[in-house]
Structure 1
Amino acid sequence: MTLEPNSTLAPVADPPGPQAWHDIGVVCPFDMALDHELWRWMPEGVNLVFTRTPYYDEPVGLDMAEEISDLAEIQDAVRSVMAISPAVVTYACTSGSFVHGVEGARNLSSAIVAAGAPAAITTSEGLLMALGALGVSKVAVATPYLAELTTRLSSFLEQGGKSVVSQKGLGLDRNIWKVPYAATCDLIRKADAPDAEAIFVSCTNLPTYDVIAYMERELGKPVITANQVTAWSALRLLGRDAVGPDQALLAAARE
């Protein structure tokens, strides 16, 4: 089809733009299936740029968590995403950032900065930041993991100065992104305890966006999740607020 110019139209200004965007680099494991979920917390004008760590033929467990947290491989991923000069880089993996404890999480952030990122944070550091923002010291833990990983997460939280009053896991070592919301809601209910001030739902590959406010209304306490704290903490470093419907963490951060 050939388009003919319309000489009868009055001259107009060229379209403005393109819009200026603030970029967040996201380093995630090779099997991350929920890029779209992280986008749901993004405000207007913030862009996510994803890169992945190398593939490992392993079930989800301690061995995989250690492999996907290899500092050299994460630094290689950071260098690839630095081509677009993000203001912040986040390592979006819970198990990979808690597997070596609080010091290990800090080492990951330091390695990301050493690879060129202006600022960096990991999911597990974001978790501790979120619990601090909510004033929570006693937390219940809900995970899709095998028992060995769930226990390691509880150890991380204890190192971070939090008391884990209850923990429950689904015992999965693969296909975590396929868990239905009904199973996740049931897991959160089972993980909750009377003295828990909040429930943390682990794993950036577990869909949780639409269950957060729902379960907070049911249980009457904050429910925070891996992707939520990943998005929220990266945006905090950027000086922006996460968006989301009636989520306690987001409301507390704005107060």
Structure 2
Amino acid sequence: MDFPRADAGEIYRPPTPVSLSPAVAPGDRPPTVGPLRQRGIGVICPFDMALDRELWRWMPPEVSLFFTRTVFVDEPVSVELALEVSDTADILAAARNLSGVSPEVMAYACTSGSFVNGVAGSDRISAAMECGGAPRGITTSGALVDALDYLAVHRLVVVTPYVADLASLLDVYLAESGRLVVAQSSLGLGENIWQVPYATAIELIRNADVPEAEAIFVSCTNLPTYDILAPLELELGKPIISANQVTAWAALRALGLAAVGPGQRLLA
């Protein structure tokens, strides 16, 4: 390793380190109260989930998210992959790992994995998390139904990034939950969903909307939506809810806390 050297006759002084802490005035004392009480949410998501930072945006400052992922599977986004990532033995193991940091609720953050086996499949995932130590286990698809109940929505448009056979199973899940999908539009993607730009999602949502729909649901926790929900709700005149939004909303609601999302109707 090469070290900096002083010229002959000079004393070498190392550079002044850059401080990343806020300025402390002379006489300041360290706080004796704190830190802020931490409220924990455990998040079990698919191995290819890339939007951790989006979920964080709905969180108030006292909440920490503890993420873990399902086992890697070399499979494109498909019905087969949804079945793999919803394996309850893997979810049970993930919940046990998360239980070490004592979250107050655990969320299975995958829409397709929680609708692929219907309402009973979603319930089994919640039960697996609770068996693994979660005080309460919720799923994205279960949170969707709760959000539709909260908004009193029966007829909706569904927008997804999925291939057709996977998207159709979401319609089945919603029908089983007493909802009517009046229109659906999908991108047909098998990979890299997290890279879909806002412009593409906005166009898909606008083109899918129909007058008889009371709301629009944007599926997939790997599809970015945070910044487009409120503006599109104003434009289209109806609630637009997304997979990550309903997951965050339901988990925080279980803690008695409100999600952070200015202008988003579900959070009003």
Q: State the TM bucket, normalised to the shorter chain.
A: over 0.9
Higher Rg of the two aligned structures: 2
For 2:41 and 2:188, the matched residues in 1 are separated by 32
Aligned counterpart in structure 2 of residue 39 of structure 1, from 53, 56, 80:
56
Q: In the alignment, what sits opposite 2:191?
A: 174
For 1:187 and 1:152, the matched residues in 2 are separated by 19
Distance 1:99 1:19, change over 3 A: same
Query: What is the CA deviation profile of residues 92-146 of structure 1, one whole-angstrom value per residue up to 9, with x for unaligned ones?
Result: 0000000001111011101110111101100000000000000000010000000
Q: In the alignment, what sits opposite 1:215?
A: 232
Secondary structure in structure 1 of the residue aligned to 2:224: coil
Q: In the alignment, what sits opposite 1:237?
A: 254
Secondary structure in structure 2 of the residue aligned to 1:200: strand
Q: CA deviation at 1:14?
A: 4.5
Is 1:68 equivalent to 2:85 in the alignment? yes
Structure 2: gaps spanning 5 or more residues: 1-13, 17-25
For this pair of structures, how many residues does the alignment match? 246
Q: What percent identity do the matched residue pairs reach?
A: 57
RMSD: 1.5
Aligned counterpart in structure 1 of residue 103 of structure 2, from 86, 90, 101:
86
TM-score normalised according to structure 1 size: 0.93
Q: In the alignment, what sits opposite 2:158?
A: 141
TM-score normalised according to structure 2 size: 0.89
Secondary structure in structure 2 of the residue aligned to 1:157: helix
Structure 1: gaps spanning 5 or more residues: 3-8
Query: Partner letter of residue 133 of structure 2?
Result: G
Q: CA deviation at 1:192?
A: 1.1
For 2:54 and 2:155, the matched residues in 1 are separated by 27
Query: Partner letter of residue 117 of structure 2?
Result: H
Q: CA deviation at 1:178?
A: 0.4
Secondary structure in structure 2 of the residue aligned to 1:189: helix
Q: CA deviation at 1:245?
A: 1.2
Query: What is the CA deviation profile of residues 165-209 of structure 1, one whole-angstrom value per residue up to 9, with x for unaligned ones?
Result: 000100000000000101000111122111000000000000000
